[in-house]
Structure 1
Amino acid sequence: MDSSSPNTNKALMDTRFSDLIPKLSCDLIEALERSNFKFCSPVQAKTIPLLCSHKDVVVDAATGSGKTLAFLVPVVEIIRRSSSYPPKAHQVMGVVLAPTRELSTQIYNMAQPLVSTLTNVNSVLLIGGQDLKFDMKTIEAKAANLLIGTPGRVSEIMERMEFLDFRNLEILILDEADRLLGIDFQKQVNSILSRLPKQRRTGLFSATQTEAVEELAKAGLRDPVRVEVEVEAESNSKTPSDLHDEYLECEADKKSSQLVDLLIENKNKKIIVFFMTCASVDYWGLVLSNIPTLKYISLIPIHGNMKQKARNKALALFKKASRGVLLCTDVAARGLDISDIDYVVQYDPPQDPDVFIHRVGRTARLGKQGRAIVFLMPKETEYVEFMRSKRVSLQERRCSENVSDVIPIIRTAAMRDRAVLEKGLKAFLSYFRAYKKHLCSRTLRWKNLEIGKLAMGYGLLYLPEMSEAKQGRRPLSTKGFTPVDGVKFEDIKFRDKSREKQRQQNLQARKERGQAEKRERVKKNSRKACATRDSSKGGRKLTGKRRRAIQTAEDREEINRDNSALKKLKKGSITEDEYAELTGLN
């Protein structure tokens, strides 16, 4: 935020932080000015005075409107005015919760210049992905007066460190409250609330207020004030007018080519591409790096299954970059303040439609221009009207013509590297499973998926066995998929020599183990056959001829089972592990 020319940013007002009533402390105002914050955004001008006047608030403001500062300023000011200030070492005065580690870290870093104006107040960042014992030792050695973090780690600390004193807690903030009050965090948030005093100030902040937020506002807040702010938005719109929001209707087998074309067209810009699953991020991160025309574009993957250090590194790298592409799941959809995002691409519509607003909110922040686009397959276009009912207007963009077909490139990469082959299958199946759990199931119907074209768009070499494509009154369509002929999939090697060496060792070990077990089974069956008496002959032992006939039939049956399993493996309907299990190689 450029304080020297506030009127160039349409999201800012003429109101200064120093003009707010009740008056903020001089130390806090000076800290804000040192960070180039002189003028308030609308949500800050409305919210800060309310919280500082002992009001609970439910804040519904568009993404990029300055919500973080709208609660951090009153948190610091309220702690300063408390009768318990300055607090004792383990006296907790405030708690700020956010749904993701990245957002919690961002809030913590933004809070430090403001918290530094307080005497003997220490803020602690509590997030998963780092050692719990280290957090506990830090709190024991220093202090914990302001807790900022994710619900899981904060609730765990509260349970284990009973000496933390919450009796004089002044304020609780739930950022992205709609997500925190959802089923994913319900248990942890309830655990935290049960340990906090009811006589406190509470602020719920989000761009999308849900029924859960409304219910908590009714039950847990004392006469809350609702604050609704839209940043220079068109009438009846949930997104800023400076956001150009589009949709692209595209067949499933053409999506990847259209994505590559869009990235090339915007190669000098800063772009975020959202996928539905972690496996998809891993796969497309690997695949897109194999496409020659994207060679000079920086591709940075991030998702919730990555180790925390890798996530931090990826995010820091993207923040510093002047251009590049962040490939991500919804772990990066909420609250993250990454400057100068030019374009948000939704390769897959989000499972939760409310997340749509958060995703596109990564661009067009605080009055700046931005673009966003969502890819929709032909049978998904009802989604446009659905989003319009949620006050999000989408303009149509036509598919680019004469784009290069990238499917042959992807398939060639899969035939050269088993990692691409396996990641592609995993990504395809994870996408399908996630699609079946879509909260927009009336609009995005999984039974309408054309999995043949979808698998083609993923560049798969073969179509994996799926019961949904064979069973039911309307099996899913496999049309549009062209399998690759003349390739023995079991012979495709990992490009990574160490992985391939390990794979060969595993295969050999399974083969030897299977052969030994097979010989043992033959012996066992032979002994059984010899011991079996022909009941029809009064319990007499079987003749040699009869025993040989029984053994031959059993051997033939076993050979048929093994051949059947081998055929399934070659078709891709079972994995190597399943093949080993069926044939006794495991």
Structure 2
Amino acid sequence: MKKKHLLQRGGSKKKGSSSRPGRVSKATKRREKRRKKREQKKQPPDARPAGNPVSQKVNQEVATVLDEPVQEDPALATIPTTSLHPTQTKLSPWDRLEPSLLPELRSAVSCFPAMTPVQGAAIPLFLTNKDVVAQAATGSGKTLAFLLPLVQILLRTKRKWKKHEVGAIVVAPTRELTNQIASVLCDLIRELPLTHLLLVGGTDIGQDIRRFEEDGANVLVATPGRLCELLSNQQQLRKSVTDFSLASHVKSLEVLVLDEADKLLELGFSVHIDAILSVLPKQRRTGLFSATQTQELEDLIRAGMRNPVRVIIKGDSITPETLENYYRIEEDDKKMEFLLNFLEKRGRGQKILVFLATCACVDYFGSALKEILAGKSANPETLSEKSPIPVLALHGKMKTKREKVFESFRGMANGVMVCTDVMARGIDVPDIDWVVQFHPPSTSKAFVHRCGRTARSGSEGKALLLLSPHEEPYLEFLRLNQGVKLLPFTDEGASMEVDKVDSTKHEVPTAVEAAEKLESCTEAMDLKDKSDKVTTVLRALQLKDHGLFDKAIRAFVSYIQFYRKHECGLIFHLKECNLGRLANGFGLLKLPKMPEVKWAGDWSAFDAPGDVEVNGIPYRDQQKEKRRKEDLKAFEATGKWPLKRAALKKREKFLEKREAEAEARKERQERLKRLKASKQKKKRSRKSAFDLENFEELDKDWKLIKKFNKRKLTKEQFDEEFLADEAAGDR
């Protein structure tokens, strides 16, 4: 019977074999392991790996970090790839495109005499019903490479689209980039029967719905969060005024474009992208455009594209060919001096982008640079009646001012923009001359995108990276990881020392002059090093405004947290950093309360000013100053600082929650007590009833026995009554 059962299943089961097809047994693995050991013993000594296995593993990990080899997916190896080198590809005129552009589009791009390599390669593929994956350096014209075929496909498919019929969607990671794409698209379709709509976060979603219902749109340019809200009806949770669903309007979608696709996935938008792809129709053309490729992007290619074709425009470097990359090694407490000299020399005639690590750093250094360079200091003696250097600040946590600040910088002929990496992706601001990376980038790819804000569309540009002495190995990391070689920066025309800057060429005070004019604010400070004028300026500005002091503390703490979590921890190690010099570079009046003060780095170099009562520093804002005085009075009366309004509300909510939980716990315990008491009462009542019944039966039996002993009952009568009682009890 067993033999028949095994034959029905496909044969008998041999020893050492596995019941699962394709599974390797443990015995086979052991034999393979012994065979490999025998082969290693047969190898000559020179061919064997030498050294400590642990050190070999560490070296392999370091090599992996530096090289980051890309593992090719077998499913993606069959994707057709077009690789071009910019120097090998001449700029072709638009007339040579095949299929050719429509006359309306040709006239719209007449200001560009020829196509860039990525445009010449991607546009024909898009127009021949291919899904395009384009990788090209920043500033290579990727925006027109997908907008031109997008518009032509819509015009060729239907000459007249309905008012609320969406034919194309462009998704970008930031509001600034979507605004820029929408601006270019508006110029393209100005004379065409197509409409577009911009959908970004930070605005009223009900207003977006009303604009779509009133004006309609054939092309949507959106950030992933807002688009996902409109497609999945999440706007109803935000008190939308109408029952609106965008999903019913995208059934005729022809083109989907993900610009800066790798950044979309890095920022945590993968869930939103999956939700968007699940709603859109499968029969469409999809384009992924970016300057770098990641494994997450490869997964998206496999999942969201039907017939992809890869276009790669690679040069000797991943950065633009016309970009000059420089680096400068400075101590942490000297970087601000160098930056001030750099901006004072170039800020009046050039456009400069300064990248910082965190939003808090942008708030602090942006305010400080405005005070020093833009002539907005609280001290009237430092104000300049002549040409100041305009300074703007922008970061991702700015809700209402972002668009206004961005447009102001676009329209400026010269000036300085202090920003985070929110400006590092796809932003095309004309005529940026310098990109200064005051803080190191979070990733090597962020370095590439930061540099790409200048030297766009064939123009010349320069980028400068500031590093501390212990961070110098990062230069070799960039060379191995991104193929970028940086040259040392030497400013031969001016000295890098603040006290030697030629102030006669400038019309605003230099850092030294500002420090001298603010000396009255620093008489109470006992500085160990009076020669550090920039630190003196920063501290003097903080003594004038408690708000700037708060910003300095928040900026320093946020930078330490950024440094601790850097992806290249082998180089950017907190214990290797001279934190005392760093604190001086931030111009701190005192060290903040943070765990790193106790265990991380060397704080001995911190030049702490003496006898400075930070609680007495006034706020420039009148409301904050009034609140500070009230808090100071309360502290003098009680010895404790009152909580701030936000902290007070948070504490009140916590206390209310704790009281509610205590009441619920008390009520639950009382309910359990009542339930336990009722159970015990029922048990006692059942027990008492049972005892009374047993007592009556025993009493009756006892009386029968007494009668039988006194010969009042015969044995037959006794047995009859006793058995009758037992039978009645059983019933």
Does TM, scored on the shorter chain, surpass 0.5? yes
**Which one of 559, 564, 583 corresponds to residue 431 of structure 1?**
559
| 2:391 alignment partner AA | L
8 Å CA contact 1:452–1:463 kept in 2: the answer is no
TM-score normalised to structure 2 length: 0.66
Contact 2:133–2:288 (Cα < 8 Å) also in 1? yes
Equivalence for 1:129? 202
- Residue 124 of structure 2 is aligned to residue 41 of structure 1: no
Match of 2:451 in 1: 360
The one of 498, 506, 516 aligned to 1:403: 498
1:162 corresponds in structure 2 to 245
Spell out the pairing of 1:133-148 with structure 2 (5 A cutoff): 133-148=206-221
- Give the match for residue 244 of structure 1: 324
- Is the partner of 2:477 in helix, strand or coil? helix
User: Cα distance, 1:166 vs. partner?
Assistant: 2.0
2:485 aligns with one of 385, 388, 393: 393
Q: Give the alignment of 1:550-569 within 5 angstroms.
A: none
Q: Is the 8 A contact 2:373 2:391 kept in 1?
A: no
Counting only pairs closer than 5 Å after superposition, residues 493-532 of structure 1 correspond to structure 2 as 493-508=618-633, 515=638
Taking the aligned partners of 1:337 and 1:98, their CA distance within structure 2 comes to: 14
Which whole-Å CA distance do the structure 2 matches of 1:203 and 1:292 have between them? 44
Pairwise CA distance, 1:285: 1.3
Cα-to-partner distance string for 1:120-154 (whole Å, 9 max, x where unaligned): x3211001122111000111112132110110111
1:312 is aligned, of 377, 381, 403, to: 403
* Alignment partner, residue 465 of structure 2: 374
Q: Cα–Cα, structure 1 residues 576 and 460, in superposed 2: closer, same or farther, change >3 Å?
A: farther
Q: Kindly tell me: are residues 292 and 344 of structure 1, through their superposed partners in 2, closer, same or farther at Cα, counting changes over 3 Å?
A: closer
Partner secondary structure for residue 413 of structure 1 = helix
Contact 1:13–1:39 under 8 Å retained in 2: no
The residue that corresponds to 2:93 in the other structure is 16
Q: Aligned in 2, Cα 1:334/1:292: closer, same or farther, shift over 3 Å? A: closer
Q: Give distance in 2, aligned partners of 1:125 and 1:511.
A: 54
Letter in 2 for 1:340: D
- Following superposition, the deviation at residue 13 of structure 1 comes to 4.6
State the aligned residue count: 506
Match of 1:548 in 2: none
| CA apart distance, 1:414 | 1.1
Hey, what's the Cα distance between the residues in 2 that align with 1:447 and 1:575? Answer: 34
SS of 1:205 mapped into structure 2: strand
SS of match in other structure, 2:153: helix
1:26 aligns with 2:26: no
Equivalent of residue 74 in structure 1, options 133, 149, 157:
149
Instruction: Give the superposed CA RMSD.
Output: 2.7
Contact in 1 for aligned 2:277/2:304 (Cα 8 Å): no
Q: Distance in 2 between matches of 1:199 and 1:340?
A: 41
For residues 15 and 86 of structure 1, the distance between their equivalents in structure 2, rounded to whole angstroms, comes to 31
Change (3 A) 1:199 1:96: same
- Flag the structure with larger Rg: 2
Once residues 101 and 606 of structure 2 are traced to their aligned partners in structure 1, the CA distance between those partners, rounded to angstroms, is 65
Task: Report if aligned partners of 1:291, 1:406 keep a CA contact under 8 Å in 2.
Answer: no
Separation in 1, partners of 2:536, 2:546: 16
Letter in 2 for 1:477: D
SS of 1:460's equivalent in the other structure is coil
1:354-409 Cα distance to aligned partner (Å, 9 max, x none): 11111111111112111111111111111101110111111122585422431111
How far did 1:12 drift?
Answer: 9.5
Aligned identity (percent) is: 41
Give how far 1:169 is off: 1.0
Change (3 A) 1:465 1:221: same
* Aligned counterparts of 2:184 and 2:549: Cα–Cα separation in 1: 43
Cα displacement (A) at 1:577: 9.8
Shifted more, 429-438 versus 157-166: the winner is 157-166
**Aligned-partner SS, 2:463:** strand
Which letter maps to 1:58? V
Give the secondary structure class of the aligned counterpart of 1:367: coil
| Paired AA for residue 111 in structure 1 | L
Q: What is the letter of the counterpart of residue 504 of structure 1?
A: K
Q: Deviations over 1:415-470 (max 9, x none)?
A: 12111211100111111112222122232223322221111100001112222232
What is the match of residue 276 of structure 1? 357
Query: Deviation of residue 170 (structure 1)?
Result: 0.8
Q: Please point out which of 260, 279, 294 is paired with 1:210.
A: 294
Q: For residue 27 of structure 1, what is the amino acid of its counterpart?
A: E
Determine helix, strand or coil for the equivalent of 1:253: coil
Return closer, same or farther for 1:348/1:329 CA change in 2, 3 Å cut-off: same
Distance 1:143 1:510, change over 3 A: farther
2-structure distance, mates of 1:48, 1:307: 36
| Distance in 2 of aligned mates of 1:80 and 1:376 | 51
What's the counterpart of residue 162 of structure 2?
88
Q: Distance in 2 between matches of 1:11 and 1:249?
A: 36
Give the alignment partner of residue 64 of structure 1, picking from 117, 134, 139: 139
Give the Cα separation in 2 of the matches to 1:453 and 1:420. 20
Q: TM-score scaled to structure 1, two decimals?
A: 0.81
What pairs up with 1:145-294 in 2 under 5 angstroms?
145-160=218-233, 161-162=244-245, 164-230=248-314, 233=315, 235=316, 237-267=317-347, 268-291=349-372
Q: Structure 2 unaligned runs (5+)?
A: 1-85, 234-243, 376-383, 500-532, 656-731
1:300 paired with 2:392, answer yes
**1:412/1:510 CA distance change after superposition, 3 Å:** closer
Q: Distance in 1 between matches of 2:445 and 2:549?
A: 33
Distance, in Å, in 1 between the alignment partners of 2:594 and 2:581 is 14
Range that drifts further, 475-484 or 339-348: 475-484
* Whole-angstrom distance in 1 between the partners of 2:130 and 2:362: 43
Q: Is the 8 A contact 2:331 2:468 kept in 1?
A: yes
Alpha-carbon distance in structure 2 between the residues aligned to 1:117 and 1:16: 23
Partner letter of residue 626 of structure 2?
K
Tell me whether 220-229 or 45-54 shows the greater mean CA deviation.
Answer: 220-229
> Alpha-carbon deviations, 1:66-100, whole Å to 9, x = none?
11000000100111122x55232322211100111
For residues 624 and 595 of structure 2, what CA distance do their matches in structure 1 show? 31
Aligned partners of 1:11 and 1:41 also within 8 Å:
no
Q: Aligned match of 1:482 in 607, 619, 623? A: 607
Q: Distance in 2 between matches of 1:412 and 1:509?
A: 27
Distance 2:322 2:593 in 1: 46
Q: Partner residue of 1:326?
A: 417
Q: For 1:498 and 1:209, how far apart are their aligned partners in 2?
A: 50
Q: Paired residue for 1:456, among 584, 587, 600?
A: 584
Using the TM superposition, give the Cα deviation of residue 14 of structure 1 relative to its aligned residue in structure 2, in angstroms.
4.3
Shift of 1:167: 2.2
In structure 2, relative to structure 1, the CA distance for the partners of 1:262 and 1:384 (3 Å cut) is same
The Cα of 1:509 is off from its aligned counterpart by: 5.4
Judged with a 3 Å threshold, the aligned counterparts in structure 2 of structure 1 residues 334 and 410 are, in CA distance, closer, same or farther, namely same
